[in-house]
Amino acid sequence: MSEALPAAGTKQVICINWGTKFGPPYINRLYAMVARNITPPFTFTCFTDKRDGIRPEVLCEDLPPLDVAKMPEKSPGIWNKARLWGETLGSLRGPVLFLDLDLVIVASLDPFFEVGRPDDVVMARNQTTPFEKLGQTSLFRFPVGKLAPLQEKFKAAPQVIADEYRFEQRFVTKNVPDGPKFFPREWVLHFRQDCRRSWPLNYFLAPRLPHSAKVVIFPRGLRPEQAISGKYHERGADNLVGHLMASFNKSKRQKRDTFFAHLRHFIRPTRWVADHWRE
């Protein structure tokens, strides 16, 4: 059966889930945030290896195949996203907006469907490498099939590609046919970089939500639930006294944190994350 183009004006939002790291609670929250912050008509499709517990409004499809005998090892990128780059993508056609499962939507997503042309690849700006002008794959829009050459290149030498580019977002940015377009920098913000207060104000003031933000991303180990409780990382203390005491205990610090780095890495509970990150 041939695949039909989406109805005129339909916004297609997608996510991907595999294994046990996230699962239904994240998928269901993400759907709810999308539904509250988008003008219909829209579809929300999750490509997943497990459908139990996912709310019925979510259109579930199987994980797209990826003919790779061995995925990259000890590589920091999320290379399983390459499953989405094929010539086809389940039953979908046309432009799709990809969202990471652990981001927080705080304003309308409609503008993300208005930048550029439907056949453009449009990426959020990577905030950690401003001089390299990289894109961010926590949120990006692409037309189904446009990234097929990237998938073929990755499949031919997965470990070589991962070693050369390190992160999948660098690979996508550098190899998109005709180059990517970018959403305005102020739309997609990095929680640690753009919202967390500078030291020592972070000891006294909760992270802020800039008025320009539409989506806040949570890369590198800090999840929304930790921001809500005021924990800088999974093992972090959720109060200032506990945080200060942990400075003297290496087992309670992040592996890469020195004593002084740990002192700086503290956040107070962030209520606005809880207000938005919910069903």
In three-state form (DSSP H/G/I as H, E/B as E, the rest C), the secondary structure along the chain is CCCCCCCCCCEEEEEEECCCCCCHHHHHHHHHHHHHCCCCCEEEEEEECCCCCCCCCCEEEECCCCCCCCCCCCCCCCHHHHHHHCCCECCECCEEEEECCCCEECCCCHHHHCCCCCCCCEEEECCCCCCCCCEEEEEEEEECCCCHHHHHHHHHCHHHHHHHHCCHHHHHHHHCCCCCEECCCCCEEEHHHHHCCCCCHHHCCCCCCCCCCCEEECCCCCCHHHHHHCCCCCCCCCCHHHHHHHCCCHHHCCCCCCHHHHHHCCCCCCHHHHHHCCC
Of 128, 122, 92, the residue nearest 109 (C-alpha): 122
Label residue 4 by pLDDT band (50, 70, 90): low
Identify whether residues 194 and 90 lie together within a single domain.
Answer: no
Identify whether residues 85 and 212 lie together within a single domain.
Answer: no
Residue 5, in any domain of the structure = no
Domain hosting 197: range is 188-276
Tokens for 276?
């938005």
Determine contact, residues 3/91, Cβ cutoff 8 Å.
yes
Residue 37, in any domain of the structure = yes
Higher pLDDT, 150 or 256: 150
How many C-beta neighbours within 10 Å does residue 71 have? 14
End position of a domain, from candidates 156, 182, 208:
182
Residue 165, in any domain of the structure = yes
Identify whether residues 150 and 45 lie together within a single domain.
Answer: yes
Domain total for the chain? 2
Residue 250: per-residue pLDDT:
75
Q: What is the CATH number of the domain that holds 92?
A: 3.90.550.10
Identify whether residues 51 and 118 lie together within a single domain.
Answer: yes
Identify whether residues 231 and 136 lie together within a single domain.
Answer: no
Of 12-26, 204-218, 229-243, the poorest mean pLDDT is in 229-243
pLDDT at residue 249 greater than cutoff 80? no
pLDDT digits (tens, 9 = 90+) for 187-220: 999 999 999 999 999 999 999 999 999 999 998 7
Determine contact, residues 166/99, Cβ cutoff 8 Å.
no
Identify whether residues 200 and 160 lie together within a single domain.
Answer: no
Residue 2, in any domain of the structure = no
Identify whether residues 41 and 175 lie together within a single domain.
Answer: yes
Residue 149, in any domain of the structure = yes
pLDDT at residue 186 greater than cutoff 90? yes
Residue 233: per-residue pLDDT:
72
Residue 33, in any domain of the structure = yes
End position of a domain, from candidates 161, 182, 203:
182
Label residue 1 by pLDDT band (50, 70, 90): very low
> pTM of the full predicted structure?
0.92
Residue 91 CA to residue 74 CA, distance in Å, equals 33
Residue 170: per-residue pLDDT:
96
End position of a domain, from candidates 138, 161, 182:
182
Non-local CB neighbours of 4 within 8 Å, separated by 6+ positions: 93
Residue 206, in any domain of the structure = yes
Residue type, 245: M
Identify whether residues 164 and 217 lie together within a single domain.
Answer: no
Identify whether residues 29 and 87 lie together within a single domain.
Answer: yes
Identify whether residues 26 and 155 lie together within a single domain.
Answer: yes
Of 38-47, 60-69, 174-183, 228-237, the poorest mean pLDDT is in 228-237
Identify whether residues 122 and 229 lie together within a single domain.
Answer: no
Residue 227, in any domain of the structure = yes
- Mean pLDDT for all residues in the chain: 92
Identify whether residues 206 and 100 lie together within a single domain.
Answer: no
Residue 53 CA to residue 215 CA, distance in Å, equals 25
